[in-house]
Amino acid sequence: MTLRDFIDKLLRRQPASATTAKERLQLVLAHDRSDLNPELLEQMRKEILEVVSRYVEIDFSEGDVSLETEDRVTALVANLPIRRAKVNPGLPAPSEESDSPKAETVEEPEEPALSEAEKETVVS
């Protein structure tokens, strides 16, 4: 944030248009580069939430799954606040530390030729 952005915020003015332009571009390019349409992204979001909520209780109102892009690499970022771990995941869960629902990060770069990577972050 620049000094100008800060003053704008204080005075509740619209932010400088360059800031808006950059934010809009970053969002639209993340979608362009991943070639994911909003429908597919929504479907993926639902499935990810479904899988994660089998193991932990998620705060759905705060949760967010979105595309972010930096240095021509697009990442899928999931920010899912965990209310509590489920005692019985009910599924043949892979070996996991059940009582540490701290921060768990899985980074899994895929096909660098397409300059895409997937990142899933679960934060409590």
Partner 1 sequence: MTSTGCRFILICSGKGGVGKTTLTANLGIALARQGMRTAVLDADFGLRNLDLLLGLENRIVYTAQDVLSESCRLEQALVKHKQEPKLALMPAGNPRMLEWLKPEDMQKIAAMLGECHDIVLIDCPAGIEDGFKNAAAAAQEAIVITTPEVSAVRDADRVIGLLNTRGIKPIQMVLNRVRPKMMANQEMLAVDDVTDILALPLLGLVLEDEQVIVSTNRGEPLTLNGSNSPAATAYGNIARRICGEEIPLIDPSKVRQGLRAKLSRLMQTKIF
Positions in the binding site for partner 1 (CB under 8 A):
1-4, 6-7, 16-19, 21-22, 24-26, 28-29, 32-33, 71-72, 113, 115
Select 12 or 72, whichever has its Cβ closest to partner 1: 72
> Is the Cβ of residue 72 or residue 95 nearer to partner 1 in the bound state?
72
Least separation in angstroms between CB 16 and partner 1: 4
SS (H, E, C) 4-52: HHHHHHHCCCCCCHHHHHHHHHHHHHHHHHHCCCHHHHHHHHHHHHHHH
CB of 64 to partner 1, least distance (A): 22
Cβ neighbours around 118 below 10 Å, total: 15
- At 70, list the tokens: 């930096």
CB of 76 to partner 1, least distance (A): 18
